[in-house]
Amino acid sequence: MIVRQAANVLEILEYFARVKKPATLAEIADHFGWPRSSTFNLLTTLADKGYLYEPRPRAGYYPTPRWLVLAREVSEVEPLPAWSRALITSLSSETGETVAIAAPAGVMAVFIDVIESSAAIRYFAHIGHRVPIHATSSGRALLLQYSQDERDSLYRKIEFKQYNPSTPISIDAVEAELSKSVERGYCQSFADYSRDLAGVAVPLPIGERRLSVVVAGPEFRIGDRTAEIAATLKQSVERFRGK
């Protein structure tokens, strides 16, 4: 069950991150198609707790720096090492594709750091983006770091959906793909989840954390370059990990 008002708070934060200027109650209500009265209650709540204020009287609400303070506090703990960002930046410019670092989140993989390709046609992803752990290269690079037991209990929670023709829709299919990945030395996915999207990924354990790096872009650009990209990936990981 989704908690609507909780999701709405996030919607509002995202809204402000997008428009980057104060918004009046009416604007917000209209934008989301929410009733004025409900919007009023929500904004009042956020303002009461010190998360919104009115930069200029009657010119609308805007988030206070409180968000930043709290976000900094939570993110300063166990930050990614400096080299991981250098790694994906370097990989992105070398390959010309979007590169991300993924972490497990139940049956999903979350991107916890992303460098987007600068190509016009590219994989559009952002930090916080979530993809099914079993149907993506980044996810499977995480699964490879699980024990068989851990994987088995995860599988039971997965709802196997046929996102695309090539989506693995059984435990066996996933396990088979994992075996193949071990053989070939890297994980890959060709539109197993997102249409037209191909990805190449490898595990990236950092300390206790099980992460993965993925290079992803349109199938026609990744196509037969997977081995080459995988080599670049591994090489770069080796090179940057030391630093």
Partner DNA sequence: CAGATAAATTCACCCATATGTACGTTTGCG
Partner DNA sequence: CGCAAACGTACATATGGGTGAATTTATCTG
Residues that bind a second copy (CB under 8 A): 1-10, 13-14, 16-17, 20-21, 41-42, 44-57, 62-78, 103-106, 108, 110, 112-113, 126-130, 146, 150, 154, 208-210
State the minimum distance, in angstroms, from the CB of residue 144 to a second copy: 14
Nearest to 101 by CA among 119, 118, 83: 83
Distance CA 25, CA 37 (A): 9
CA dist 85 and 87 (Å) reads 5
* Cα angle, residue 210 at apex, residues 205 and 214 outer, rounded to 5°: 75
User: Binding to DNA by residue 118, rule CB under 7 A?
Assistant: no
Does position 106 interact with DNA (CB under 7 A)? The reply is yes
Q: Number of C-alpha atoms within 13 angstroms, CB side, residue 115? A: 18
Question: Could you tell which of DNA, a second copy, none binds residue 26, using a CB distance below 5 to 8 A set by kind?
Answer: DNA
* Among 53, 51, 69, CA closest to 61: 53
Interface characters, 155-184, with DNA (x: CB under 7 A): -xx---------------------------
CB 140, CB 155: distance < 8 Å: no
Q: Which does 120 bind (CB under 5 to 8 A by kind): a second copy, DNA, none?
A: none
Judged by the rule CB under 7 A, the positions of this chain that interact with DNA are: 1, 3-6, 24-26, 34-38, 40-41, 44, 58, 60, 106, 153, 156-157
